[in-house]
Amino acid sequence: MHDGTRFAHPFPASSLREYDIRGIVGESLHKADAFAIGRTFGSIVARNGGVRVAVGRDGRLSSPELSTILIEGLMASGMAVTDIGCGPTPLLYFAATTEATDGAVMVTGSHNPASYNGFKMMLGRKPFFGAQIQELGRLAASGDVVPEAGGSVAEKDVSDAYIARLLQDWDGGDRMLNVVWDSGNGAAGDILRRLVKSLPGKHTVLNGEIDGRFPAHHPDPTVPKNLEQLVAAVRKQGADIGIAFDGDADRIGIVDDTGEILFGDQFLILLARDVLAANPGATIIADVKASQVLFDQIAAAGGKPLMWKTGHSLIKSKMAETGAPLAGEMSGHIFFADRWYGFDDALYAAIRVLNAVIGSGKTVSAFRKSLPQVINTPELRFDCPEDRKFAVVSEVAERLRADGAKVSETDGVRVSTEDGWWLLRASNTQAVLVARAEASSDAGLTRLKATLASQLAASGLAPDFSGANAGH
C-alpha cells in the first residue's frame, strides 16, 4: 500500500498532454503511472467535495490492467468507483453525465497506435484539461495527496440505458437506408452491433470485433487510407452511406453513396442545417481548421458561425459558455447540445447524420456536390522543436500584422486574402506546426502556399509541400 505522506510520483513531461495523459505502454506509460493518476485525481475529487468516480476503458490490450490499477489508486484516495467496463469514450461521458458522479476517467489511447494508451478525465460534468492536467502532474510529483483511505468499487453496465437514449433521438421513422459501418476493431464494436439491430434498414458492420491490435487498419477515420475498406464496401453494396469511428468512438468519418469521403467541415454543414431548422439563429462552433465554406453556409442557413480553437476540451468549454447547440472539428469530433449532453459522441453523431440525410431527401453525394467547390491542402504538419513552435507562430503573426494582413489569432494565425485563406498553428500535443490553405483556384492555392512557405522560411524552417493539394 502507498501511504499518503510517502507517495510521490513524477510523470514524464511528454505524457502530460493538453487534453489527456498519454504515452507508449512500457516506455513512457507504466502501471505506476496508472496508480498515481488514480491516487492524485482521486485526491482532487476529494478536495472538491466529491467521492464518486466513474471509470471506463477501451479495447486495447493494456487497458484492463491499467484500469484495474487506476481504480486501486482512486480507492486509496477514498473514492467510490463505478466501473462501467469496456466501451467507447462517449459511454463513459454518458455515465458521468447521467449517473451521480463527481468525476470520471477513461482509459483510452483514442486513435493512437496499439502500443499507446492514456487517460481522459472529467471533473464534475466538465472536461479536465490544460492547466488542470499540469497541476495533477505537480501534485503527484510532490506527493500532495489526501491521506490514504479505503474506497470501494462496483461494476455497473450502463450500455442498455445508453443505447436506449441514442435510439430516442432517431427521427428517420422506418426509412430503409443501406448503411455500412466500420468500427475499426475499436471500442464501439459491441454497442454498435446492438444499436443497429434496433435501426430500420440494412446495416453491415465491418471490423466489429473489439481487438486492441487493430488488425484491419489503424482506427483513425481522418486518414483516407484507413477508409479504403469502407469505401470499397459502400461501392460494392451500393450503400447510401458509410460511417467510420476512431478507436474510442468520439470521432466520426463519413463516406457518401459514391464512395467519396466527406471532410468533417462538410458533414457539419449537413448537421448545422438540420439543427438550425429547429434552432433558428443559433450559434454553431467550428475550429480554425474548417473551410470558409462551412462558416458561410452556417450564416446562409440563418446561424451565427463562431470560429474557435482546435481541441475537444476547448470546444466543449466554449459551447457551454455560448449555449451553442452544435459544434464540430475537422478531426471528426462532433458535439451536440441540441437534445444531447454537449459531449463529443460519434455514435450519437451517426444517428443525427442519418436523420439529416433522410430529412434532406437527397443522396449524400448530391449534398456534397451542391457545396461550393474549393481547392485546399490536407492538414500539413511540419516538425518544429517543442521550445520553438509557439514562438514561430508569434513571429509569423508579428510580421503579418506589420504588413497589414487580415489575420485572426483565435488559435495560431489564420490569414484571409483575395485568393482564400491559410492557417498556421502549433500542435497542442506534438512537436509540430500544423498548416492548411484553401483557395477557389489552383493558382490562388499556389500563391497562398508560397506566402506560408516564405513566412516559415523567415523563421528558419524549410517546409515540404509535396502532395499538398486536395479537392474539397
Please give the positions annotated as active site: 110
Neighbours of 49 (CB within 10 A): 8
Give the position of cell 468525476: 103
User: Cell triple for residue 269?
Assistant: 454543414
Rounded distance between C-alpha atoms, residue 311 and residue 133, angstroms: 15
What is the largest distance, in Å, between two alpha-carbon atoms of the chain?
67
Q: Count Cβ neighbours within 10 Å for each residue of 307-319 and write b for 16 or more, e otherwise.
A: bbbbbbbbbbbbb
Angle 131-142/31-47 helices, nearest 10 degrees?
A: 110
User: Cell triple for residue 86?
Assistant: 469496456
CB 351 within 8 A of CB 169: yes
Please give the distance of CA 127 from its chain centroid, rounded to a whole number: 12
Angle 346-360/264-278 helices, nearest 10 degrees?
A: 70
Rounded distance between C-alpha atoms, residue 345 and residue 332, angstroms: 10
Q: Count Cβ neighbours within 10 Å for each residue of 263-286 and write b for 16 or more, e otherwise.
A: bbbbbbbbbbbbbbeebeebbbbb
| Angle at 310 (CA atoms; ends 305, 314), nearest 5 degrees | 90
Give the position of cell 470560429: 307
Rounded distance between C-alpha atoms, residue 243 and residue 420, angstroms: 30
Rounded distance between C-alpha atoms, residue 111 and residue 377, angstroms: 22
Strand (E) or helix (H) holding 315 = helix 312-322
User: Cell triple for residue 367?
Assistant: 449534398
Helix ranges, 105-211 (H): 131-142, 159-168, 189-197
Angle 189-197/346-360 helices, nearest 10 degrees?
A: 30
